[in-house]
Amino acid sequence: MALKGLDIFKFTPKTNCKDCGIPTCMAFAMKVAQGAIGIDKCPHLPPDALEKLGEATAPPMKLIKIGVGDAEYSLGGETVLFRHEKTFVSKNLFAVNLRGDTIDQALPAIQHIDYERIGERMYVELLNVEYSGDKTLFLETVTKALTANRTMILEVSDPEAARAALELAGDRKPVLNGANISNYQDMNALASEFGVALGVSGAGLDAIYDTVKALEDLGNKNLIIDAGGATIKETFANAVQIRRAAIKDGDRVFGYPAIINAAKLAPHDKNTQTALAALFTLKYASIIIMDGIDYAQALPLYGLRQNIYTDPQKPMKVEPGIYPLNGADENAVCATTVDFALTYFIISGELERSGVPVNLLISDAGGYSVLTAWAAGKLSASSITRFIREKDIEGRIKNRNLIIPGKVAVLKGELEENLPGWKIIVAPNEAVGVVKFLKELKV
């Protein structure tokens, strides 16, 4: 953090500051440097120092808000190039492209992608309404898109059509994506009037840079960069160079979230668009636009995004509870494993593949894998017994057969002592053996 020449301490340092709750100014400065507290929490800084420090300590990529209410999202705010360095901050969003000739088919299809995975709702967050030159058709499409109650991107570079669309949808705080070197003044006036984020595009990085700089000179820093190029190669290079310029080189002109339109890079090619969406989830789109998203595309894309935008130091966990599989009821056999998401998805997949009804019991194991949880004391006979009693498993399930992971077979004896009346069954060591094991199991 370069603060050379900035004398911020033109006030008496506090030794026990009750205003910010930090014992000393030095401790406060350390917390600011670590990102644990905002510089604005100190009421003793002069306004000019506060403004300069606020800019100096802000993330190299600006945090931009779009949408309203339940459909409000944060974009940007990133501080690193690679997830393993720290963590990514704001997950990328997926958008479906809408045109006048496709909206009647696209809107119902969007509603089908809405499910939960590891406590997170997976659905199409944004709708990109594309202006094709027909203002009447464009406004009809915007009106129809409003019924879906999703945040919109208005892809339009005609100021007159943009104004008409914003008069319909401006209160939803859409992205107005259409500023370029030839119209940025008119588009900036519209974005400022309606208080929406402005998308900036150009024929190459130099043109984009100049347009963003011109908009910043007009006082607008509520921007998103449309990084699309003429080819996939150029678009990828744009996305990487924009992120590197902001984070590695400290060039805040490029410190804004990026839009990538995969539908334009691979028109009517579902498979290529899916591959591009995966690529730009990694490098480095904040919004990815596709022609459509079905289950075959959603499962890998949303799973990848969830992996990438999860803190690498905090494992993904499933909610502890009873998971009936294959139509299991109170008479079905029980099995137990840990709450580590990967373990759950692997073992639940094998259990479902067997076709045998099973009540899968997931206890809190700290998000660790089976052996790691056992070694850390998170998976033990005591923890399994406690879970069964706290969840009243015996009152809810009549079957008294409990299958435990093969790698913790050592728990069998103690579990039989803790759970009189239960039969403890040791499963195979590897998940691939579960299907055959269950089909041959006699209880």
- If one compares 83 and 158, the residue with the highest pLDDT of the two is 158
Distance separating alpha carbons of residues 65 and 157, to the nearest angstrom: 21
Strands (E), 293-442: 321-325, 333-337, 358-362, 401-404, 423-426
The token duo for 246 is: 């902001």
Helices (H), 35-134: 47-57, 103-111
> What is the torsional sign of CA 25, 30, 33, 39?
negative
User: Are 326 and 352 a contacting pair, CB within 8 Å?
Assistant: yes
Phi-psi sector, 250: left (phi>0), alpha (psi -120 to 50), beta = left
Give me the mean pLDDT over the 110-129 stretch: 90
Q: In the prediction, which pLDDT does 307 show?
A: 87
**The pLDDT of residue 98 is above 90:** yes
Q: In the prediction, which pLDDT does 39 show?
A: 66
Strands (E), 306-427: 321-325, 333-337, 358-362, 401-404, 423-426
Distance separating alpha carbons of residues 124 and 10, to the nearest angstrom: 51
Rg (CA), the chain: 27
Q: What percent of the chain has pLDDT over 90?
A: 74
**The pLDDT of residue 8 is above 60:** no
| 56 band by pLDDT with thresholds 50, 70 and 90 | low
Q: In the prediction, which pLDDT does 423 show?
A: 95
Distance separating alpha carbons of residues 392 and 141, to the nearest angstrom: 53
**The pLDDT of residue 11 is above 50:** no
Distance separating alpha carbons of residues 64 and 176, to the nearest angstrom: 13
Average pLDDT over the chain reads 89
Dmax over CA atoms of the chain, in Å, equals: 80
Asked whether the domain spanning 321-440 has the same topology as the one spanning 63-308, the reply is no
For helices 205-217 and 184-194, the axis angle rounded to 10 degrees is 50
The token duo for 195 is: 């208080």
| 139 band by pLDDT with thresholds 50, 70 and 90 | very high
**The pLDDT of residue 387 is above 60:** yes
**The pLDDT of residue 87 is above 80:** yes
Q: In the prediction, which pLDDT does 85 show?
A: 85
Distance separating alpha carbons of residues 197 and 334, to the nearest angstrom: 52
**The pLDDT of residue 17 is above 90:** no
Task: Among 33-42, 66-75, 145-154, 349-358, name the one with the lowest average pLDDT.
Answer: 33-42
**The pLDDT of residue 10 is above 60:** no
**The pLDDT of residue 385 is above 60:** yes
**The pLDDT of residue 129 is above 70:** yes
Q: In the prediction, which pLDDT does 36 show?
A: 57
Q: Check whether the bond before 295 is cis (ω within 30° of 0).
A: no
- Domain residue spans of the chain: 63-308, 321-440
Q: What is the per-residue pLDDT across 23-32, written as a single tens digit (0 to 9) for each?
A: 556 666 666 6
Q: For the domain 321-440, what is the CATH code?
A: 3.40.50.11600
Amino acid occupying residue 419: L
Q: In the prediction, which pLDDT does 9 show?
A: 43
Q: What is the per-residue pLDDT across 263-295, written as a single tens digit (0 to 9) for each?
A: 999 999 999 999 999 999 999 999 999 999 998
Q: What is the per-residue pLDDT across 212-235, written as a single tens digit (0 to 9) for each?
A: 999 999 999 999 999 999 999 999
Q: In the prediction, which pLDDT does 18 show?
A: 53
Assign 138 to helix, strand or coil: helix
User: Are 312 and 84 a contacting pair, CB within 8 Å?
Assistant: yes
Could you tell me which of 326, 388, 318 has the C-alpha nearest to residue 358? 326
Give me the mean pLDDT over the 68-93 stretch: 91
Q: What percent of the chain has pLDDT over 70?
A: 88
User: Are 191 and 176 a contacting pair, CB within 8 Å?
Assistant: yes
The token duo for 424 is: 């403890």
User: Are 387 and 380 a contacting pair, CB within 8 Å?
Assistant: no
Distance separating alpha carbons of residues 274 and 263, to the nearest angstrom: 10
Q: What is the per-residue pLDDT across 295-323, written as a single tens digit (0 to 9) for each?
A: 889 999 999 999 898 877 777 889 999 99
**The pLDDT of residue 2 is above 60:** no
Could you tell me which of 64, 195, 176, 193 has the C-alpha nearest to residue 128? 176
| 102 band by pLDDT with thresholds 50, 70 and 90 | confident
Give me the mean pLDDT over the 352-368 stretch: 94
User: Are 228 and 235 a contacting pair, CB within 8 Å?
Assistant: yes
Out of 3.30.2350.10, 3.40.640.10, 3.20.20.20, 3.30.70.100, select the CATH number for domain 63-308: 3.20.20.20
Distance separating alpha carbons of residues 335 and 322, to the nearest angstrom: 10
Burial annotation 306-342 (CB, 10 A radius, 16+ → b, else e): bebbbeeeebbbbebeebebeebeeebbbbbbbbbbe
Q: What is the per-residue pLDDT across 402-411, written as a single tens digit (0 to 9) for each?
A: 999 999 999 9
How many other CB atoms are found less than 10 A from the CB of residue 396? 10
Q: In the prediction, which pLDDT does 96 show?
A: 96
The token duo for 45 is: 């800084």
Q: In the prediction, which pLDDT does 310 show?
A: 83
Give me the mean pLDDT over the 155-162 stretch: 96
**The pLDDT of residue 253 is above 60:** yes
